[in-house]
């Protein structure tokens, strides 16, 4: 596995991953009908940096890192992670989260916050806890899940030391 920063042309390989996950509607709050141009803006242009994880030249996952707040909160970053449906369960989210924490420190961030983790996303919640994130808040019924209806969204936080 190789993790690297995105290069020109990568979004054509990221788009099917993004589209499959967002269109499903059960983990990200992006509109399910987000088009390719909007997705590229959200995933590549708004963040400080975007990375991909690849194996044998095939992109299997991606993540972004950005400042969570401006001003007095600009020492806290936010990341989003996506793994291709066919590659889930292979430890890619773990690799990307560990990589993102190191990148965050290199970029000068002191903490990382996940703003909106759907309570039904138990795999992500367990993984983030295993990687040292604490659930610091619960937003009651903040996420409209396509099958479950209104469910809670969790806010998770980690002060970064040496990762």
Average pLDDT over residues 2-11: 96
Confidence of residue 162 (pLDDT cuts 50, 70, 90): low
Please, is 57 exposed, middle or buried when counting C-beta atoms within 10 Å of its C-beta (0-12, 13-18, 19+)?
exposed
Q: Helices in 1-158 by DSSP H: which ranges? A: 11-24, 36-40, 92-106, 122-130
Residue 163, pLDDT above cutoff 80? no
Q: What is the pLDDT of residue 161?
A: 81
pLDDT tens readout for residues 40-92: 999 999 999 999 999 999 999 999 999 999 999 999 999 999 999 999 999 99
Bigger pLDDT: 123 vs 161 = 123
Q: What is the pLDDT of residue 83?
A: 98
Domains present along the chain, CATH in parentheses: 2-159 (3.40.630.30)
pLDDT tens readout for residues 87-125: 999 999 999 999 999 999 999 999 999 999 999 999 999
Instruction: Report which DSSP code applies to 161.
Output: S
Phi, psi torsion values for 126, nearest 5 degrees: -65, -40
As a whole number of angstroms, the distance between CA 126 and CA 121 comes to: 9
Phi, psi torsion values for 143, nearest 5 degrees: -115, 125
Average pLDDT over residues 135-151: 98
As a whole number of angstroms, the distance between CA 30 and CA 26 comes to: 10
């Amino acid at each position: 596995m190789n993790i690297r920063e995105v290069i020109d042309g990568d979004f054509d390989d990221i788009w099917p991953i993004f589209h499959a996950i967002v269109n499903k509607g059960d983990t990200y709050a992006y509109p399910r009908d987000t088009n390719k141009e909007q997705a590229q803006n959200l995933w590549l242009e708004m963040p400080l940096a975007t990375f991909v994880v690849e194996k044998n030249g095939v992109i299997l996952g991606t993540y972004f890192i950005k400042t969570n707040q401006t001003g007095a909160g600009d020492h806290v970053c936010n990341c989003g992670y996506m793994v291709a449906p066919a590659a889930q369960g292979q430890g890619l989210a773990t690799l990307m989260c560990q990589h993102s924490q190191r990148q965050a420190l290199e970029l000068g961030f002191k903490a990382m916050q996940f703003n909106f983790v759907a309570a039904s996303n138990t795999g992500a919640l367990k993984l983030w806890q295993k990687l040292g994130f604490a659930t610091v808040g619960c937003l009651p019924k903040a996420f409209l899940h396509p099958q479950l209806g209104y469910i809670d969204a969790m806010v998770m936080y980690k002060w970064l030391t040496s990762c």
